């Protein structure tokens, strides 16, 4: 029988809102469970402080927006920038996220990327708008992601979070699809969402 190399003698817990303890998972444990076949390809979740949180289902428009942006950006500056969709970013040993679009330096391998290394995170929001604007904003800011965009799928309005300081974004702007968006740390990826064929 296949077992974990290091089984903790007592599993750490997290505290849920109703006060009941939860097992506290690590990224390494979830990777191992995936290798053992516990999770399938359709199981979409992220890990926040040891708790498994299901990712919202994605609709057609969400997929098309992320796909179109990814297609454009991946060819812009391959010598310096890597662009990936739903790449896992390990924030700590008990927290990881899978943003819709991740931009990081070519000099790094994605498993080594941490929050401060990220050049830009983009989330496309349909049913997850409140989660992305409130909860994920706090997560990305707390772990040092310097620029964070939330694209509202229906209108293509983008909430741009920049000027990270003291664990929060000091500048937050809602910009319409007709305005050119220019990432602070990757200006070559400037884009006008109204030009996307979605």
> Contact, 52 vs 29, CB < 8 A?
no
pLDDT tens for each residue of 91-140: 988 889 999 999 999 999 999 999 999 999 999 998 778 889 999 999 99
Enumerate residues 6+ apart whose C-beta is below 8 A from 182.
189, 190
Distance between CA atoms of 156 and 162, rounded to whole angstroms? 18
What distance separates the 2 farthest-apart alpha carbons in the chain? Answer: 58
> Model-level pTM?
0.85
Q: Is the pLDDT of residue 69 over 50?
A: yes
pLDDT tens for each residue of 152-187: 999 999 999 999 999 999 999 999 999 999 999 999
* Strand-strand pairing, 120-125 and 148-152: parallel
pLDDT for 7: 46
Phi-psi region of 151 (alpha: psi -120 to 50; beta: other; left: phi over 0): beta
Using pLDDT thresholds of 50, 70 and 90, give the confidence band for residue 196: very high
| Residue listed under structure tokens 């498993």 | 111
Distance between CA atoms of 164 and 148, rounded to whole angstroms? 10
- What sign does the CA torsion over 108, 133, 29, 58 have? negative
């Amino acid at each position: 029988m296949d077992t974990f190399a290091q089984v903790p003698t007592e599993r750490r817990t997290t505290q849920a809102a109703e006060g009941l303890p939860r097992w506290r998972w690590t990224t390494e444990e979830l990777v191992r469970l995936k290798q053992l076949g516990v999770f399938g390809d359709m199981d979409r979740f992220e890990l926040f402080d040891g708790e498994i949180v299901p990712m919202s289902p994605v609709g057609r428009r969400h997929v098309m927006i992320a796909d179109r942006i990814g297609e454009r950006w991946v060819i812009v500056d391959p010598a310096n920038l890597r662009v990936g969709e739903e790449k896992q970013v390990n924030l700590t040993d008990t927290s990881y996220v899978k943003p819709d679009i991740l931009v990081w330096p070519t000099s790094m391998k994605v498993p080594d990327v941490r929050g401060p290394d990220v050049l830009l995170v983009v989330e496309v929001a349909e049913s997850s708008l409140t989660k992305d604007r409130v909860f994920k904003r706090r997560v990305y800011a707390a772990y040092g992601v310097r620029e964070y965009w939330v694209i509202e799928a229906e209108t293509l309005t983008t909430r741009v979070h920049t000027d990270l300081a003291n664990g929060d974004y000091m500048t937050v702007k809602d910009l319409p699809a007709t305005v050119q968006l220019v990432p602070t740390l990757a200006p070559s990826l400037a884009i006008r969402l109204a030009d996307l064929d979605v």
